[in-house]
Structure formats: C-alpha cells, structure tokens
C-alpha cells in the first residue's frame, strides 16, 4: 500500500517536487492566482474527462460555466459533467471541502457524492456489458455488487468496508512525515482505483483526491494539476496502474501480496507527471515572458482593429498589481478621461478585464477568456484546440 522507505528514485523526485511546487506558489499576485486557478480548473476538468473518453471542447466548458448549454442532449450532458467537476475542485481550492484527510473513505464518499449529485440523470447509469443490465449510480454510495475493470477483479462488495478501513489506516497522516505523504499520493491513487469502491466515477474521484492531497500536504495549489500530465501519457498511466495490480514477483518484491516493484514504478511515473506539470506551469507563468506574450497579443489585436491602443499598460498593471481602480486603469491607457473609460469598457467587454464586484465603479482585475488561452498560455490544451469551435481528435502534446 506504500512504497518502502529509502527508495532513492522516489526520494529524489519527491524533494524536487516539494521544492519546485513551493516556488511556483509565490510567483504571482494572489488575485491573479485566483483568476489563473479558475482557468486551470477548466483545464483539469478537460483532461480528467478526456482520460475517461469524454471529449468536451474547452469552448463548450467555457459556455457551460456561463450557463450557456447546448440544445443537443449529449453535448449538454457533458457540459453539466464538466461544471460538476469544476465546482468540486473549486471547493477544494477554496478550502470548502470537509476536514477529513483526503486519503480516507469519508473524503472519497464526499467527492463522489458532490460530483455525482451534480450530474444529469443520463450520466448516472452504467450498463453491464455481459448482460446489458442497466444500473443506477447513487452519489456517495459504495457499490453493492461485484465488478470487473478490464482484467482486474476488485474486492467483493461485502468486503468494501474492511478494505476502506485499511485504506484509512495505511494513509493516516499521523503515521507519515511530509516526504512520505507526498510519496504516498501515487500509492493512494492506485489503491483507490484497485479497490474501486463506487459503481462508476472512481477515476474522477481518484484524481480529485490526488489534487486535494497535494493541497493538504502543502505543495498543491490551484495553479497546477496532475491530470494534464496523466492525460499526456494516458496509455502509460493505465498500463502502469494495471502493472501495479500484479502479484508479488518473488521474495525481493516487497512483503505484501501485490508487487512492490510495480507500485514503485507507478509512484515514480506519478511524481514525474506532477513535476512535469509544475515545471510547465512555472514556464508559462514566468512574469516577464507572460507579459511579453500579452504585449504581442494586444499589439496584434490593435493592428487588427479588435482592441484599442493603450490596452497593454492596463493589462500589465492588472497582472503585476492584482487589481486597480477603473480611474487608474483609464489613466494608464494614455488617453484623456473619457477615452480612457472607453478603453476600459472595451477590455471588460472582451473579458480581458473582470470587475471585482457587480457595481459599475468596482475595481478591475485581469481576465483570462478562452480566446486568449492559446496566445497567453501556449500548449495548455492540445495544439490549436482552444482556437477551434468544434472538437477534433486531439494529440496530447507538451
């Protein structure tokens, strides 16, 4: 259930992840972090659902967050699924989740209940491929029957309380220091999927649990997510998960029934995926480079007549300061008061600035509309996807 201590390859990855994730958290103004966090939640939802075979276009996710749902039933159901995922992660990011330790049965049931309770009815049914029997998924309820997941046969339903009690015991934070807690996230992820406590939704629950665990151990934040890293290597992710289900490979392969070498390999892959995502977000959030991309974008848009001149100084100040008054923003445009207000109004209309509250005199902060994602945050989504209206067959690229 845990990699053995003093596993050098995992120790090195763990120390690197702790160091680099801690540095990432202090790079930006907290207000700007909040806006980017909302963008990352949408990205995390996209990749987590993609692993499950649900390809929901980023623009459809964006529309769903604005309560603009498709009239086409299947697309609308996937939009509602995306909103459910984002809302649960938002609660985690903002500290609105329960106080239970995330690697616990109680927290897993909260995640499943919170996610599934927001799903449309048509997504709460699964079908037995052998008998065509349709079964309803009850939010937060442990499954009441046996299942098969590929070649893996999870524990019988009657055994689930015992397995979940052992799950709570093995990952109790009082038994593990911070390094071991970070190392345990991959093992927790594997073990929950091995137990497969719910009829459906286990993958989403496991990835949200991983996100919550990293936040609780002090290195996770709304600025990065492991789901993008797992989706980029989906075949290897699933293959290593399956390999870690295997039996012990001899006397030197740990002391449990399952292979210790397989678990170490999966945990190493998991930490590498996390480190890859922290490094990716560190690179795209480097302030000077981000400012340069914003400047090039505003210059291009001004030449095309879609944005007024004088927009960049306002956006630059919003990135560096977090928020600013509308009067200050207008003055930064370089125009007289009336024209300055028009520039601010245009930036608000395009979503490049966002009001901090509903009043017309509120301060403004930087916005991150879907139209700028590819220019400001290159490779956040598969190449070209955020700029297309209709989803294609994405290639996951770094």
Residue numbering of the annotated binding site for ATP: 149-152, 200-207
Pairing of strands 125-127, 134-136: antiparallel
SS (H, E, C) the chain: CCCCCCCHHHHHHHHHHHHHHHHHHCCCCHHHHHHHHHHHHHHHHHHHHHHCCCCCCHHHHHHHHCCCCCCCHHHHHHHHHHHHHHHHHHHHHCCCCCCCCCCCHHHHHHHHHHHHCCCCHHHCEEECCCCCCEEECCCCCCCCCCCCECCECCCCHHHHHHHHHHHHHHCCHHHCCHHHHHHHHHHHHHHHHHHCCCCCCHHHHHHHHHHHHHHHCCCCCCCCCHHHHHHHCHHHHHHHHHHCCCECCCCCCCCCCECHHHHHHHHHHHHHHHHHHHHHHHHHCCHHHHHHHHHHHHHHHHHCCCCCCCHHHHHHHHHHHCEECHHHHHHHCCCCHHHHHHHHHHHHHCCCEEECCCCCCCCEEECCCHHHHHHHCCCCCCCCHHHCCCCCCCCCCC
Instruction: Quickly tell me which residue has 């937060």 as its tokens.
Output: 140
* Annotation says 54 is catalytic: no
Catalytic one among 57, 85, 190, 196?
196
Query: 328 exposed, middle or buried (CB, 10 Å; 0-12, 13-18, 19+)?
Result: middle
Distance in Å from the first CA to the final CA of the chain = 31
Spatial separation of the C-alpha atoms in residues 181 and 185, rounded to whole Å: 7
Tokens for 315, please give them. Answer: 């956006």
Largest CA distance in the chain: 79
Spatial separation of the C-alpha atoms in residues 223 and 243, rounded to whole Å: 31
User: Which residues are documented as binding site?
Assistant: 149-152, 200-207
Instruction: Quickly tell me which residue has 């938002």 as its tokens.
Output: 90
The residues carrying an active-site annotation are 196
């Amino acid at each position: 259930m845990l990699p053995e201590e003093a596993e050098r390859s995992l120790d090195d990855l763990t120390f690197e992840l702790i160091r680099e994730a801690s540095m990432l958290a202090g790079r930006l103004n907290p207000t700007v972090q909040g806006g980017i966090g909302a963008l990352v939640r949408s990205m995390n939802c996209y990749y987590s659902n993609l692993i499950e075979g649900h390809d929901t276009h980023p623009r459809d996710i964006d529309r769903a967050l604005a309560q603009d749902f498709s009239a086409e039933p299947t697309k609308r159901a996937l939009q509602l699924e995306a909103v459910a995922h984002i809302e649960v992660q938002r609660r985690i990011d903002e500290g609105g989740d329960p106080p239970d330790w995330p690697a616990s049965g109680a927290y897993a049931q909260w995640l499943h209940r919170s996610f599934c309770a927001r799903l449309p009815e048509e997504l709460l049914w699964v079908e037995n491929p052998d008998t065509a029997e349709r079964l309803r998924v009850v939010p937060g309820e442990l499954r009441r029957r046996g299942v098969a997941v590929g070649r893996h046969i999870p524990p019988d339903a009657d055994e689930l309380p015992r397995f979940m009690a052992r799950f709570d015991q093995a990952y109790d934070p009082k038994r593990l220091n911070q390094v071991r807690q970070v190392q345990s996230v991959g093992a927790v992820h594997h073990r929950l999927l091995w137990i497969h406590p719910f009829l459906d939704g286990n993958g989403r629950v496991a990835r949200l649990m991983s996100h919550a665990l990293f936040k609780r151990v002090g290195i996770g934040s709304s600025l990065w997510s492991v789901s993008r890293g797992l989706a980029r290597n989906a075949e290897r992710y699933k293959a290593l998960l399956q390999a870690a289900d295997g039996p012990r490979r001899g006397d030197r392969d740990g002391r449990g029934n399952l292979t210790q070498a397989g678990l170490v390999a999966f945990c190493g892959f998991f930490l590498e995926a996390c480190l890859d995502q922290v490094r990716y977000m560190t690179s795209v959030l480097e302030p000077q480079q981000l400012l340069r991309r914003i400047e090039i974008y505003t210059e291009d848009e001004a030449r095309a007549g879609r944005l007024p001149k004088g927009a960049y100084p306002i956006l630059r100040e919003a990135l560096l300061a977090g928020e600013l008054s509308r009067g200050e923003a207008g003055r930064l445009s370089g125009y007289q008061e009336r024209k300055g207000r028009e520039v601010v109004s245009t930036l608000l209309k395009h979503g490049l600035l966002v009001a901090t509250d509903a009043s017309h005199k509120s301060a403004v902060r930087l916005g991150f509309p879907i139209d700028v994602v590819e220019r400001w945050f290159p490779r956040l989504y598969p190449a070209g996807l955020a700029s297309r209206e209709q989803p294609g067959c994405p290639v996951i690229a770094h």
